[in-house]
Each structure stands twice: as structure tokens, then as C-alpha cells.
A and B are shown apart, each in its own frame.
Chain A
Amino acid sequence: DQQVKQNSPSLSVQEGRISILNCDYTNSMFDYFLWYKKYPAEGPTFLISISSIKDKNEDGRFTVFLNKSAKHLSLHIVPSQPGDSAVYFCAASGGGSQGNLIFGKGTKLSVKP
């Protein structure tokens, strides 16, 4: 049973528009959430994180929103750029997971010029 779910395997967006990637989780004890970006033939790289005591964290074009009551988080990229095309993984930790990170299956974002 997946504890972290990314229900959209892919997303296509026009350059300059907003990209919204979604993630749901089932374990209410998770208290730290992260987004990773992965290009082909490379390892995932850390993008942005949020603690459960916050509902928003912003870093440049990237903003992560956390809705604890809905057990939902989202990553907004605005404006989207072709270089943002990659697979985005949502991850969560805490809740008795002993500090490990549980990842979703990823969403492949394509930003078209």
C-alpha cells in the first residue's frame, strides 16, 4: 500500500504557464515533505521541502503548499521553463518511519516551448 501517491504519471504545460504537481499521503504522522527533480541518466536532486508546521514554502519559481487536513501537498512552478522538464518525486518522512524517506512514483513534467 503506497503511503505517498502521485496520481498523475505525466503532465504537459506550455512554457511560461504554471505547472502544478500534486501529491497525496496516507500517514498523518508524516511531518516533513520534500520534492526531488530527476533528469534522465542522473540521480534525483533535492528541490524544495516543507515542514508540517508550515503550509507554504517558496524558493524562487518553486512553491510547495501543504494541506495537512487533506493530506495533500502540491508543487507550483511559475513560470515554467523547458529546462524544468523532468520527473518530479514527492517524498515524506516522520511518522515512525525512523527517518527514512518514502517516495511517490513520480510525475513526468514536459514543458513545451
Chain B
Amino acid sequence: DARVTQTPRHKVTEMGQEVTMRCQPILGHNTVFWYRQTMMQGLELLAYFRNRAPLDDSGMPKDRFSAEMPDATLATLKIQPSEPRDSAVYFCASGLVIGRGLALQFGPGTRLTVL
């Protein structure tokens, strides 16, 4: 039963610290997404990759957020420096684009708390 895995599951840090979240997409999936869930915004797209190439990162605050896919088995989302308003649950999701249909499988999320 293939699953998207994310580490860490929980992270508490102080304002100004660097935070790195990792994701292992499902083998064979060619798209990887990073979403952030907050009470106010629901599921907010931060960035996504297709075949490891970044397609859209317009949802990310560029001055502090960065997303990369160093290889097909790892996606990272980094925040430097972190701020209290970054506190949220960050989800990674992967999927396979078939025609015009795309059904994503989500990881369990990383709950980030910035004090």
C-alpha cells in the first residue's frame, strides 16, 4: 500500500529559526505538491513540481520559503527565517497526471508551531 510520507510529523520552533520539512512521494508519481492548511485559508497551494521541475510557486512567500526536489524520492520545503504566522499544517501530496485528471494522494502532514 504505497503512501506519501512526511517528516517530521510535528515541529515546534522559535521565531527566526530555519525549518525544513521533507516528503517522500509515491514511487512513479510525476507531480508533487506542497499545501498549507490554516483555519482561514483552507488548503492553500504553496508550490508544485512535475517531473521534478518547479511549475508554480506563486503561492509561496519567496523571501522566506523555498521548495526543491533534489531527486525523484525527496521533496523539501524550507522556511528561513520562520515566523509565528507560518504556524500551520503543511501537506505534501503526489499524483499522476492522466489525461486531464489528477487525483492526489496526501501525506499525513507536518504540524508546525512557531513560537
Contacts and interface: CB of A to CB of B under 8 A. Distances in A.
Interface of A: 6, 31-32, 34, 36, 41-46, 49, 51, 89, 93-94, 98-106
Interface in B68-115: 91, 93, 97, 100-109
Contacts of B24: none
Interface string B34-66: 010000011111001010000110000000000
A45 B100 contact: no
A97 B72 CA distance: 23
A46 to B, nearest CB: 5
A103 B100 contact: no
Given A51-B100, A51-B101, A89 B42 contact: yes
Contacts of B91: 43-44
Range of interface residues on chain B? 20 to 34
Contacts of B31: 99
A99 B97 contact: yes
B48 A89 contact: no
Given A32-B102, A45-B105, A99-B55, 7 more contacts: A49-B101, A98-B56, A99-B31, A99-B97, A100-B48, A101-B33, A101-B104
26 contacts: A32-B100, A34-B103, A41-B109, A43-B4, A43-B106, A43-B109, A44-B43, A46-B105, A49-B103, A51-B100, A89-B42, A89-B43, A94-B100, A99-B31, A99-B50, A99-B97, A99-B102, A100-B56, A101-B102, A101-B104, A102-B45, A103-B35, A103-B42, A103-B44, A103-B45, A106-B43
A102 B59 CA distance: 11
Contacts of B43: 44, 89, 103, 105-106
Looking at A41, A93, A99, the one whose CB has the most chain B CB atoms below 10 A away is A99
A103 B91 CA distance: 13
A93 B4 contact: no
